[in-house]
Every structure is written in structure tokens, then in C-alpha cells.
Amino acid sequence: MSDEWGNLADMVAGHAQNFLDGLTRLARGEGGDAMLPLLLMEVAQMSLAGAQLGASQDVILPGNWEPPMSEDPDLDEIRTALAERLGPVDVYAEVFDPYKDTSVTAYRLSDDLAAVAADLVHGLRHHKAGRPLEALWWWQYSYFNTWGNHAGAAMRALQALVAHTRLDVVDERTSV
């Protein structure tokens, strides 16, 4: 494996771990009133790593085969905690594929964030097992297949929520 691939794997692993740590803290309520902008920042930073994977040459595994691993951890506790914290803003409308499927679909931020986390965890397990090429392959494949879409949709929804909290001001009337 080249140094370039190794450096990219280490960089994505760092972003993935930061995302998972941040998501876990926010699910526990550590973000307080800043939860939405902090989620936006976490998703945006992970999306940057995904864009770097998207701009990279295709990662091809020797023999085009992924080594077997035990089952990935269940992230439902994080998803459920996020859904509870997000409450009425958890559900939003999204167009899944603006080129092939232009119908509006209901999405949940909690589901999107948990889906991203699940794909990142799988790759991190390869990376921590000393298989950085497998980690890169998984992250790149799942970026195009699942987590890139979920991260993009979540980022659009979170940006809209943060913008609404900043721009939708109540008309202040002054008394004369």
C-alpha cells in the first residue's frame, strides 16, 4: 500500500472517530442549545473527508474481496437518543436522487446520522485491525452507496434548521 493511501486512511479514520465521538456526546445531551449547529459542523467535517474519498482514485482490494469481520456494533441507542433530542425537527423532506428519483421523501435526521455512523464504524474496525486499504475501500464504497447521501441530506436539513433559528426573528414592536 502506498504512503498516499496510508495517509488518506489515517486522515479518514481520524475524521470518522471524531464524528462518532461528537455524535455520541451530542446524543447524550452534551451540546445543550448548540446541538443543531454542532451536528451541522460534525456532518460537514465528515462530508469533507467523504469528498476526498470521492475525488480519489477507486480503491480496489487485492482479489476484490473484503476480509470477514464479526458483526458491527448496534448504534440504535445513539439513533434513539438523537431522535428524542431532535424531537419535532427529526423528520424532514428530501429528494433522494435529484436526477433519477425526484419525488419528495420523508427522512429522519436521527436515521441519517446513525447510518453514517454505522458505515464509519465498519471502516474504523478494518483500520484498527491494521487493514487500512480495506478501510479505505469500505469508506469509499459506502460513501457512494449510502453514507454520502445520508450525510448530504442531513447537512442540508441541519443547515436549514440553523438558518431558521438565526433568520426567523419575531417582529419586535416598540411601544411609543
Nearest to 40 by CA among 166, 164, 161: 161
pLDDT at position 2 is 75
pTM higher than 0.85: yes
pLDDT at position 171 is 56
Nearest to 15 by CA among 56, 38, 44: 44
pLDDT at position 176 is 53
pLDDT at position 84 is 97
What are the tens digits of pLDDT across the range 12-21? Answer: 999 999 999 9
What are the tens digits of pLDDT across the range 125-167? Answer: 999 999 999 999 999 999 999 999 999 999 999 999 999 988 8
Q: Which domains does the chain have, with CATH numbers?
A: 3-167 (1.20.120.1550)
